[in-house]
Amino acid sequence: MHVLHVLGTRRDFLKAAPVVAALRRRRVRQTLVHTGQPQHGAVPEDLLQAFDLPEPRFNLAVGSGTHAWQTAEIMSRLEPVALRIEPDLVLVYGDVNSTVAAALAASKLGLRVGHVDAGLRSFDRTLPEEVNRVVTDQISDLLFTSSAEAGGNLARESVPAERVHQIGNVTIDTLVRLLPQALAKRDAAGTIGLNGHRYALVTLHRPYNVDDEGRLAGMLDVLGEFSRHMIVVFSVTPRTAQRIRTVGPVPPDLRLVEPMGYVDFLSLEARATVAITDSGSIQDETTFLAVPCVTVWPATERHETVTMGSNTVVADATGVRAELERVLAGEGKTGSVPPLWDGCAAERLAAVVCR
């Protein structure tokens, strides 16, 4: 058996790392392709080292562009790779343009497609990620879900039940594997001056939050206001940093830091008093860690992090302020861990693939 993994973003590597490791233990031949979807999207070496994974054999180096251009470019560059490799299964992850592009290219070549994180729905078709999810699920042969709710979504969309396999959350597999190492680290917290202090950890990168100057300015004002009561650490991507510079001075007590490796970030995340984010993986991780999470996004596709976990979804800075006031009052949400979020999802996936 030969499995081709198509990875576009850092979050895809988070999901794929334990899957690659689990299939390797079953002696499955594997090839990794990095589409190079983000403009500054380097392969996360820290995750490759942690799981002893090889560098991707192919880098399509697509870069940024419009949704249509990027999707088409990934398809055209991936097709000759797939024809050369002739895999038995193409595994795609999440909901980015690389996901749907790879699924379409493979399906048109008559190759079997497996979708990891299938069935997630925000029920908002104005979001490009939602379109990617729906299309990918409809053309996939194996759909690996993280919850019973995701399976229910697929059933309502008439996806045959025999294609659907609830395995749990592979993002949590990565967390479970590296959490002991993260908890043993104090370097990141010490460098920022966090040791012994309560703090909020912030990541915002989606255009919804950072491309609208008024929305971004409002977020910075709220974070600056909150930083008078608790340290606020804002991990900013180069793109977000550029957007922040266009809206004026940063509140003086807000601590901006560059993106860090997974283990360093996890060491901060696990000890945070609250997280403010628009990242899907952080919604999952904070639910497992019982860290209150405020997701700034019109709607989440990860409903179990809200109904069971520690996540609260808000639309704007006003909602963030209200949730942070609850955290200050000691009423932050902690929740519980959803079923099968136990660090063994990749093993269950590998068992299905090999069966």
State the pLDDT confidence band at 94, using cuts at 50, 70 and 90.
Answer: very high
What average pLDDT does the segment 73-83 reach?
A: 98
Across 159-198, where does the E strand assignment appear?
164-166
Please confirm, yes or no, whether 205 is among the known catalytic residues: yes
Hey, which of 34-48, 147-161, 236-250 has the most confident mean pLDDT? Answer: 147-161
Tell me the backbone φ, ψ of residue 212, rounded to 5 degrees: -90, 110
What's the CA gap between 339 and 36, in Å, rounded?
Answer: 33
Q: What is the pLDDT of residue 33?
A: 97
Q: Which residue in the block uniquely carries the two structure tokens 């299938």? A: 118
What's the CA gap between 286 and 106, in Å, rounded?
Answer: 34
Q: Which residue in the block uniquely carries the two structure tokens 């002893």? A: 52
Burial 314-349 (b: 16+ CB within 10 A, else e): bebbebbbebbeebeeeebbebebbebbebbbbbbb
Q: What is the pLDDT of residue 37?
A: 80
pLDDT 10s digits, 267-316: 999 999 999 999 999 999 999 999 999 999 989 999 999 999 999 999 99
What's the CA gap between 187 and 193, in Å, rounded?
Answer: 10
Token pair recorded at residue 300: 């989440």
Q: What is the pLDDT of residue 274?
A: 98
Determine the residue type at 296.
Answer: V
What mean pLDDT is reported for the chain?
94
| Catalytic entry in 5, 115, 165, 205 | 205
Kindly tell me if the per-residue pLDDT of 40 is higher than 60. Answer: no
What's the CA gap between 82 and 28, in Å, rounded?
Answer: 17
pLDDT 10s digits, 57-70: 999 999 888 999 99
State the pLDDT confidence band at 44, using cuts at 50, 70 and 90.
Answer: confident
Q: Of 118, 104, 122, whose CA–CA distance to 164 is shortest?
A: 118
State the pLDDT confidence band at 50, using cuts at 50, 70 and 90.
Answer: confident
Q: Of 160, 118, 162, whose CA–CA distance to 136 is shortest?
A: 118
Which of 62-66, 114-118, 146-150, 283-287 is predicted with the least confidence, judged by mean pLDDT? Answer: 62-66
Tell me the backbone φ, ψ of residue 31, rounded to 5 degrees: -130, 135
Q: What percent of the chain has pLDDT over 90?
A: 83
Question: What is the chain's alpha carbon radius of gyration, rounded to the nearest angstrom?
Answer: 20
Kindly tell me if the per-residue pLDDT of 190 is higher than 80. Answer: no
- Domains of the chain, first to last: 2-168+341-354 (3.40.50.2000), 177-328 (3.40.50.2000)
Q: What is the pLDDT of residue 41?
A: 55
Determine the residue type at 174.
Answer: T
Determine the residue type at 230.
Answer: M
Beta-ladder partners of 276: 202, 294
End-to-end Cα, the chain, rounded Å: 11
Kindly tell me if the per-residue pLDDT of 198 is higher than 60. Answer: yes
